[in-house]
């Protein structure tokens, strides 16, 4: 009976051991040192190698794991063979009998009694999730390292304000090596006047963008934009900071601000800047009871330079004239360009009439000296009108108007005269009325004429279309460019009639060329803001297309940025209605106004035209290159076609082509041509249908 009891007790203990072993999540086995075979294994261990707890007993470790695996783990068994009583640990990647690849952490614990090795307990734990998580962290760190290496933005990692690490861009931005940066306070690299704000930003854990100033190793200050994120760490939080160099952005912003107040060609202040300056000068003169003088300057026969040479020659002449005016004036004086060849000079420091007249003579002498423009000597005269405060007006508008009236009075006397404003000599209203009557007669008597400037595709030089440009056949002055009468027509409410004439004539001409066998290419026309303010502009366009028979898709209507923004609440509806007709819409002189990306997205625009002032500066002005490149990229991102105006050199063409500009027009292709010459140009450059 006792033997039976002992046997039952042993069986119960064996069953309990088996239950415990099979319940544990690890794989467990015991190998006898004497026989070097397995004497016990739990179900997990046996099944991993494709066996059962019964069939594994009596097999050697080599037989259990297989020859390939045995060769991998045998090097780890040296301490056991040497009877070292310490556990052996290693982690290996093994393939189970079920084909599952796992990372197993193995612990081989010696069973020693009285100094003799009795056996080895093998404990295998699946650590695949931990290993994969660690590997994923290493992969993420490697990806972050590679990203940090290639990004142009500086990245810095810090804890409690002390730099832990950074990328290559950080070393370029600061001038320090990473070894020099690590362990140093991040605020050491912030300009003194920005440190308190940077400290508050850091302590509050804010994650919004902040502008600041970085101090380079060479002592120079660099404007930056900072954006930080708080990241959890193993023991503490740390901050990852992205630092952007804002130098180029600020310079571009300053340049755009400059262009908003200055003429892009001559770099002189523009009309808006003049109005502000004159207003301030008048306020000071009123307070101090002093005089000031306004001089209106106009080059005689400037249009002849453009017509006989080219627009580039005219631009060079204007730039030279602007520089001469700067040099001839005193530091306190002010000069602005307000039109094609129209300049205004402000003398703010209480000049007497004699002083004003003497300075006018100096300006005349400077401007009328011979010019050397592209190998041609030019001698031009200057008409100059003068109005003074308070005698000739007490506000900016009155003074500018009366100075201009005096200038026209000087022109009426011939070339090269100076005239002080004298109300009795001329009634400005009478002169304006005569000009208005002449313009009305021009509309009624068909005294306008369209010239057509070709537009070509950059990639192959093929004709892309024409822009119709209006000229006035003045009864006394001959052919007058639009710069000299469009502004007057707008002020006198006559521009709508001019626009309608241009619209109808351009449509008829495009259809006539098409009927004559020439390619059906787009015809672009310019419409004024006043035309868009009228609610019947859509009907007028539809009627012109119907009367001419021109396909609507071949009519391109150009409007300026200011027209887009200032033509009233009906503008979106009007543009959508024009698009519904099939007409394509373009923004002319893009880059010189104030339109935004939001306006481009809001309105159904098809095409942007880069203003010629930017194109003329391309080859020698990095700012112009940056602005044109930005316009092209913005247009491409919005799927808009881009046309560059005023292209006059092959170097300009190549730069524009490299930037991705699709089309161009300018004197390099052709000057604006009368209809018969434009038709001849097509015959020479296009194959008839």
| Domain residue spans of the chain | 12-126, 146-245, 258-426, 447-685
Where does residue 662 fall: left (phi above 0), alpha (psi -120 to 50 degrees), or beta otherwise? alpha
Using the predicted structure, report yes or no on whether residue 178 has a pLDDT greater than 80.
yes
The pLDDT of 35-64, averaged and rounded, is: 89
Of the ranges 263-272, 297-306, 528-537, 630-639, which one carries the lowest mean pLDDT score? 528-537
Instruction: Give the C-alpha separation, 123 to 591, whole Å.
Output: 74
SS3 272: helix
Using the predicted structure, report yes or no on whether residue 425 has a pLDDT greater than 70.
no
Q: For residue 557, which of 584, 580, 529 has the smallest C-alpha distance?
A: 584
| 253 CB neighbour count, 10 Å cutoff | 11
For residue 441 the two structure tokens come to: 């007669």
As a whole number of Å, the CA-based R_g of the chain is 42
* Residue 29 φ then ψ, to 5°: -150, 155
Q: Could you give the angle at which helices 495-515 and 537-548 cross, rounded to 10 degrees?
A: 30
Strand order across the 334-337 sheet: 334-337, 342-347, 292-299, 382-389, 418-420
pLDDT digits (tens, 9 = 90+) for 131-177: 877 776 676 566 566 655 556 788 888 888 899 888 888 999 999 99
| Fold of domain 447-685 | TIM Barrel (3.20.20)
- Which residues, 6+ apart, have CB-to-CB distance to 591 below 8 Å? 259, 610, 611, 614, 627, 628, 631
What is the rounded (10 degree) CA torsion for 41, 44, 46, 49? Answer: -140
Of the ranges 289-298, 393-402, 585-594, which one carries the lowest mean pLDDT score? 585-594
CA distances from 124 to 30, 99, 111, 129, 233 (A): 12, 17, 17, 15, 31
Q: For residue 440, which of 481, 479, 492 has the smallest C-alpha distance?
A: 492
Q: Which CATH architecture has domain 146-245?
A: 2-Layer Sandwich (3.30)
Using the predicted structure, report yes or no on whether residue 234 has a pLDDT greater than 60.
no
* Residue 480 banded pLDDT, cuts 50, 70, 90: confident
Burial class of residue 606, CB neighbours in 10 A (0-12, 13-18, 19+): middle
pLDDT of residue 238: 81
With b for 16 or more beta-carbon neighbours within 10 A and e for fewer, the 142-169 pattern comes to: eeeeeebeeeeebbbbbeeeebbbbbeb
pTM: 0.45
pLDDT of residue 623: 83
* Residue 20 banded pLDDT, cuts 50, 70, 90: confident
CB-based contact 99:76 (threshold 8 Å): no
Of the ranges 237-241, 242-246, 323-327, 442-446, which one carries the lowest mean pLDDT score? 442-446
pLDDT of residue 293: 96
Query: Which residue in the block uniquely carries the two structure tokens 């161009």?
Result: 664
Using the predicted structure, report yes or no on whether residue 374 has a pLDDT greater than 90.
no
pLDDT of residue 235: 61
CB-based contact 262:273 (threshold 8 Å): yes
pLDDT of residue 688: 44
Instruction: Give the C-alpha separation, 79 to 87, whole Å.
Output: 9
Using the predicted structure, report yes or no on whether residue 305 has a pLDDT greater than 90.
no
Instruction: Give the C-alpha separation, 495 to 420, whole Å.
Output: 31
pLDDT of residue 8: 67
pLDDT digits (tens, 9 = 90+) for 449-477: 999 999 999 989 899 999 999 998 865 56
Of the ranges 367-371, 377-381, 533-537, which one carries the lowest mean pLDDT score? 533-537
Query: Which residue in the block uniquely carries the two structure tokens 């070292």?
Result: 84
Domain spanning 258-426 has what CATH number?
Answer: 3.30.70.270
Of the ranges 94-98, 499-503, 580-584, which one carries the lowest mean pLDDT score? 94-98
The pLDDT of 533-539, averaged and rounded, is: 78
pLDDT of residue 5: 54
pLDDT of residue 557: 94
| 574 CB neighbour count, 10 Å cutoff | 19
- The pairing of strands 376-378 and 237-245 is unpaired
Using the predicted structure, report yes or no on whether residue 595 has a pLDDT greater than 80.
no
The upper half-sphere exposure of residue 534, i.e. CA atoms within 13 Å in the direction of its Cβ, equals 16
User: Which tops the pLDDT comparison, 190 or 408?
Assistant: 190
Of the ranges 444-448, 648-652, 660-664, which one carries the lowest mean pLDDT score? 444-448
CATH value of 12-126 in 3.40.30.10, 3.40.50.300, 3.90.79.10, 3.30.450.20: 3.30.450.20
Using the predicted structure, report yes or no on whether residue 492 has a pLDDT greater than 90.
no
Instruction: Give the C-alpha separation, 386 to 402, whole Å.
Output: 8
- Which residues, 6+ apart, have CB-to-CB distance to 67 below 8 Å? none
The pLDDT of 472-500, averaged and rounded, is: 78
Contacts 24+ apart (CB under 8 A), 543-551: 544/503, 544/504, 544/507, 545/507, 545/581, 545/583, 547/504, 547/507, 547/508, 548/504, 548/507, 548/508, 548/510, 548/511, 549/511, 550/507, 550/508, 550/510, 550/511, 550/514, 550/523, 551/520, 551/582
Using the predicted structure, report yes or no on whether residue 429 has a pLDDT greater than 80.
no
* Residue 489 φ then ψ, to 5°: -60, -40
CA distances from 350 to 52, 264, 283, 288, 330 (A): 113, 31, 13, 10, 13
pLDDT of residue 643: 95
pLDDT of residue 433: 60
| 258-426 shares the fold of 146-245 | no
CB-based contact 264:255 (threshold 8 Å): no
Q: For residue 108, which of 94, 93, 92, 131 has the smallest C-alpha distance?
A: 92
pLDDT digits (tens, 9 = 90+) for 636-649: 888 899 999 999 99
CB-based contact 173:154 (threshold 8 Å): yes
- Chain mean pLDDT for the chain: 85
pLDDT of residue 284: 93
Query: Which residue in the block uniquely carries the two structure tokens 């071949």?
Result: 554
Using the predicted structure, report yes or no on whether residue 412 has a pLDDT greater than 60.
yes
Q: What percent of the chain has pLDDT over 90?
A: 39
pLDDT of residue 292: 95
CB-based contact 87:121 (threshold 8 Å): no
pLDDT of residue 423: 76
DSSP codes joined into one string, 49-117: TT--TTTTTT-BHHHHH-HHHHHHHGGGGHHHHTT--S-EEEEEEEE-TTS-EEEEEEEEEEEEETTEE
The pLDDT of 474-488, averaged and rounded, is: 73
């Amino acid at each position: 009976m006792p033997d039976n009891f002992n046997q039952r007790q042993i069986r119960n203990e064996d069953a309990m051991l088996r239950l415990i072993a099979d319940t544990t999540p690890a794989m467990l086995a015991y190998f006898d040192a004497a026989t070097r075979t397995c004497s016990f294994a739990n179900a997990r261990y046996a099944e991993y190698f494709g066996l059962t707890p019964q069939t594994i007993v009596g097999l050697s470790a080599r037989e259990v794991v297989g020859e390939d695996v045995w060769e991998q783990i045998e090097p780890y068994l040296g301490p056991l063979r040497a009877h070292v009583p310490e556990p052996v640990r290693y982690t290996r990647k093994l393939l189970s009998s079920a084909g599952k690849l796992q990372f197993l952490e193995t612990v081989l614990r010696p069973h020693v009694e009285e100094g003799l090795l009795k056996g080895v307990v093998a404990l295998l734990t699946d650590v695949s999730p931990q290993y994969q998580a660690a590997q994923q962290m290493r992969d993420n760190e490697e990806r972050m390292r590679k990203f940090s290496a290639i990004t142009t933005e500086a990245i810095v990692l810090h804890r409690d304000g002390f730099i832990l690490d950074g990328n290559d861009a950080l070393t370029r931005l600061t001038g320090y090596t990473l070894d020099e940066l690590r362990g140093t306070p991040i605020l050491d690299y912030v300009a003194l006047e920005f440190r308190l704000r940077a400290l508050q930003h850091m302590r509050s854990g804010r994650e919004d963008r902040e502008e600041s100033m970085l101090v380079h190793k060479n002592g120079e200050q660099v404007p930056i934009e900072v954006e930080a994120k708080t990241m959890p760490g193993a023991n503490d939080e740390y901050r990852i900071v992205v630092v952007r160099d804002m130098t180029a952005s600020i310079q571009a912003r300053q340049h755009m601000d400059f262009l908003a107040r200055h003429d892009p060609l001559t770099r002189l202040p523009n009309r808006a800047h003049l109005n502000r300056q004159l207003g301030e000068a008048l306020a000071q003169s009123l307070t101090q009871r002093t005089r000031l003088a306004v001089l209106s300057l106009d080059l005689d026969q400037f249009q002849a330079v453009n017509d006989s040479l080219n627009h580039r020659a005219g631009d060079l002449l204007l730039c030279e004239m602007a520089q001469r005016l700067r040099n001839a004036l005193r530091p306190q004086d002010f000069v602005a360009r307000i039109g094609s060849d129209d300049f205004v000079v402000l003398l703010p420091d209480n000049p007497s009439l004699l002083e004003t007249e003497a300075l006018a003579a100096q300006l005349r002498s400077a401007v009328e000296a011979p010019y050397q423009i592209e190998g041609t000597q030019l001698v031009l005269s200057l008409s100059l009108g003068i109005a003074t405060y308070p005698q000739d007006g007490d506000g900016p508008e009155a003074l500018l108007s009366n100075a201009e009236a005096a200038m026209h009075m000087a022109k009426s006397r011939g070339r090269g005269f100076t005239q002080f404003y004298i109300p009795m000599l001329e009634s400005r209203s009478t002169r304006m009325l005569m000009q208005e009557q002449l313009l009305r007669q021009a509309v009624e008597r068909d005294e306008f004429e369209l010239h057509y400037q070709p537009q070509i595709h950059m990639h192959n030089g093929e004709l892309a279309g024409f822009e119709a440009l209006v000229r006035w056949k003045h009864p006394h002055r001959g052919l007058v460019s639009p710069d000299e009468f469009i502004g007057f027509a707008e002020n006198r409410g006559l521009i709508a009639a001019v626009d309608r004439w241009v619209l109808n004539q351009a449509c008829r001409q495009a259809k006539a060329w098409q009927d004559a066998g020439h390619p059906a290419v787009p015809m672009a026309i310019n419409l004024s803001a006043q035309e868009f303010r009228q609610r019947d502009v859509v009907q007028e366009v539809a009627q012109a297309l119907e009367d001419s028979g021109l396909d609507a898709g071949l009519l391109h209507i150009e409007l300026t940025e200011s027209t887009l923004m200032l033509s009233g609440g009906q503008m979106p509806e009007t543009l959508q209605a024009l698009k519904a007709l099939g007409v394509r819409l373009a923004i002319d002189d893009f880059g010189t106004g104030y339109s935004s990306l939001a306006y481009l997205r809001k309105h159904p625009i098809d095409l942007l035209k880069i203003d010629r002032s930017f194109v003329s500066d391309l080859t020698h002005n990095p700012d112009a290159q940056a602005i044109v490149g930005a316009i092209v990229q913005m247009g491409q991102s919005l799927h808009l076609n881009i046309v560059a105006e005023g292209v006059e050199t092959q170097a300009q063409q190549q730069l524009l082509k490299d930037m991705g500009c699709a089309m161009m027009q300018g004197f390099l292709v052709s000057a604006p041509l009368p209809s018969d010459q434009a038709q001849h140009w097509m015959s020479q450059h296009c194959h008839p249908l």
